Copies of this chain bind each other. A is one copy, B any other.
Amino acid sequence: MFRGIFHNSIDEKGRVSIPARFRDQIQNNHSTPLVLTLGFDQCLFLYPSDTWQKIEEKLSSMDSLNAEVRQFQRTIMRATDEVDLDQQGRIVISPVLRKEAGLGKSVVIVGLLNRIEIWDKQKYESYHTQSSQSLELLGQKLSDKGIQDIAF
């Protein structure tokens, strides 16, 4: 699992350093190349390829007769790239993905369970301040909807 938050920057060539801690985890427990895809809420998801493969299996097991399923599949795969780490531990983000995710120079890289999320710094902050709700409240909402709670 990936944990922690890092503030890095994208250079003119579209390169970003992946935090060393994540790099180590990938090398020790996962397989490359990495898969970079446009995720939810206008940020990028970065997966080790073994994890991504499971997602693809689920995607392909969905009912393709359903038009909404097909659209979902296509929308995901449309914006998916394979990326490798260079010898400084960086990946290159294609202009297309940079644009789709609205990435400027400053980015936030967050470990989020089985994936790494890459956010434009401003977008990240507004995501968390605009809809700033206490953890307690969020938990309560989920609980009200019957989504299982978590024991801390």
Binding site for B on A (CB under 8 A): 1, 3-5, 21, 35, 38-41, 45, 53, 55-56, 58-64, 66-78, 80-82, 94, 96, 110-115, 117, 127-128, 131, 133, 135-136, 138-139, 141-142, 145, 147-148, 150-152
Contacts of A110 in B (CB 8 A): 74, 77-78
A-B contact pairs, 8 of them (CB 8 A): A5-B80, A38-B135, A40-B67, A59-B113, A62-B148, A68-B142, A71-B133, A72-B139
Interchain CB contact (< 8 A) of A112 among B62, B67, B77, B128: B77
Q: A61 vs B149: C-alpha distance in the bound complex, in angstroms?
A: 11
Known: A68-B138, A71-B138, A147-B69. A77 touches B111 (CB 8 A): yes
Contacts of A136 in B (CB 8 A): 40
In the assembly, how many copies of this chain are there? 2
B138-A75 in contact (CB<8A): yes
Interchain CB contact (< 8 A) of A1 among B3, B53, B81, B112: B53
B73-A128 in contact (CB<8A): no
| A74 closest partner in B (C-beta) | B112
Known: A77-B110, A136-B40, A150-B58. A21 touches B72 (CB 8 A): no
Q: A41 vs B136: C-alpha distance in the bound complex, in angstroms?
A: 9
Known: A53-B1, A56-B1, A62-B147. A21 touches B73 (CB 8 A): no
